[in-house]
Amino acid sequence: MTDKTKYKSVAIDHDCYKRIEELAISLRPGVTLSRAQVVKILVNNKFLEDEKNSYEYEGRLN
């Protein structure tokens, strides 16, 4: 049984689900990722990108 303190679920439409499956193959050549790994990678990359952009923007104000 899934540990409810560690995981949540989300609902996505069929088109998005299909794209995630395609990315599972193409994100890491030679390795097939799980759908959860694909989502985690994309979210973390976006978060880091936004954080970096925010830091660069704040640095220009000083």
**Mean pLDDT of successive 10-residue segments in the chain (62 residues)?**
87 97 94 96 94 74 52
Distance in angstroms (rounded) separating the CA atoms of residues 32 and 10? 21
Residues 52, 54, 55, 60: what is their CA dihedral angle, to the nearest 10 degrees?
130
Give the 3-state secondary structure percentages of the chain, helix then strand then coil, rounded to 5. Answer: 65, 0, 35
pLDDT of residue 1: 74
Tell me if 55 is assigned to some domain. Answer: yes
**Range(s) of the domain holding residue 61:** 33-62
- Contact (CB, 8 A) for 37 and 24: yes
Q: What is the pTM of this model?
A: 0.76
Domains: count for the chain: 1
Tell me, yes or no, whether 27 lies in a domain: no
